[in-house]
Amino acid sequence: MTMKNHLNKKQTRKANHYLTVSDLDADMLLALIDRAIQLKRHARAGLPFRPATGRTIGMIFEKPSTRTRISFESAMYQMGGNVSFMPSRDLQLKRGEPLKDTARVLSRYLDCLVVRTYGQEIVEELARWSDIPVINGLTDQHHPCQILSDIMTVIEHKGPDLSGLKIAWIGDGNNMAHSWIQAASRLGFPLTLACPAGYDPDEGILEEARRQASAPILLIRDPSEAADGADVINTDVWASMGQEKETMERKRRFMKYQVNSELLRLAAPEAIVLHCLPAHRGEEITEEVLEGPRSVVWEQAENKMHIHKAILEWAMGLRQEEG
């Protein structure tokens, strides 16, 4: 390829980045979930699905991960492709190589990049300079892949009409809360968040989501009010990765926000409980609820692998090539 051709390619190509839920419209979000449900059936039936043969994804992870890492890796291997896992400490990034150089170099080797890091601006900068799709595998602000497996789990249990459900978020106004807020806005379902004072979701994200929403996104203080009649109850750790120093203070401030049997009694009779995991039993959720009949967390964790297949297939344009 000549330099001129390469420049033309760079100017015209727009990679399928997925950095926040708001990057995609409702149809696209639902299409990914539908596809994941189909691929789950496909996998359960033992049918081969290897559209990624000859492709390699890179995964730059700056924070620990069990589910996101392994489910992306398994998804890619099952699809016939390869994975290059790159703890960020092992890259020249750690010695000051700019993100824009890293993105352009990796674009020459790889077909897609999954990134777990701190600031959202890091994935944005990588995407700005990358010719290959950049997928946000969690930042301090968003966890957009996780939310798709969570909504997939809700749809499997409650059916596709989310607009009639009461969905509650109980706990920290964190990255997961932000992705739920954006999903509620895009997909038009009502969401009630109960967060302690001082731990609200980002005001800008909330306001923007509300401006575009067709159903109410409520922020309240009382966890009982959020749980009352809820069909879906979500929670997450009180101290996210990077907030370890705040753990003790947060435990004090969040105790009333524990998802326990008493709170669950207020919910709808067939309510389900979601937690993206890892869970801290005795803090944001009790052992009894996590291991109880309303908990769907293991299925939710499994669904990450199916949704990641759908995301990778879309991001790398593999379905078109399938014909």
Q: Based on the shown chain and the rule CB under 6 A, indicate whether residue 276 belongs to the binding site for ligand CP.
A: yes
87: phi then psi, degrees, rounded to nearest 5: -55, 130
Burial of 53 (0-12, 13-18, 19+ CB in 10 A): exposed
Residue carrying the six token digits 């207020």: 266
Name the binder of 66 from ligand CP, ligand NVA, none, CB < 5-8 A by kind: ligand CP
- Residue of 73, 236, 283, 313 that binds ligand NVA (CB under 6 A): 236
What is the closest distance, in whole angstroms, from the C-beta atom of residue 242 to ligand NVA in the complex?
A: 7
292: phi then psi, degrees, rounded to nearest 5: -85, 175
Contacts of 313 (CB under 8 A, 6+ apart): 35, 51, 52, 79, 319
- Residue of 20, 102, 146, 175 that binds ligand CP (CB under 6 A): 146
Mask 49-88, x = binds ligand CP (CB under 6 A)? ----------------xxxxx-------------------
Burial 62-89 (b: 16+ CB within 10 A, else e): bbebebbbebbbebbebbebbbeebebe
Q: Based on the shown chain and the rule CB under 6 A, indicate whether residue 312 belongs to the binding site for ligand NVA.
A: no
Tell how far CA 276 is from the center of its chain: 9
Q: Based on the shown chain and the rule CB under 6 A, indicate whether residue 277 belongs to the binding site for ligand CP.
A: yes
What is the closest distance, in whole angstroms, from the C-beta atom of residue 68 to ligand NVA in the complex?
A: 7
Query: How many residues contact ligand NVA, by CB under 6 A?
Result: 9
Edge-to-edge order in the sheet of strand 217-220? 217-220, 191-194, 167-170, 232-235, 272-275
What is the closest distance, in whole angstroms, from the C-beta atom of residue 18 to ligand CP in the complex?
A: 15
Touching ligand NVA, residues 168-197 (CB under 6 A): 174-176
Q: Whose CB is nearest to ligand CP?
A: 68
Mask 276-295, x = binds ligand NVA (CB under 6 A)? x-------------------
Q: Please tell me the distance from the alpha carbon of residue 295 to that of residue 307, in angstroms, as a whole number.
A: 20
Residue carrying the six token digits 């001129």: 4
Shorter beta-carbon distance to ligand CP: residue 184 or 305: 305
Which residues bind to ligand NVA, rule: CB under 6 A? Answer: 138, 174-176, 236-237, 240-241, 276
Which residues bind to ligand CP, rule: CB under 6 A? Answer: 65-69, 138, 146, 276-278
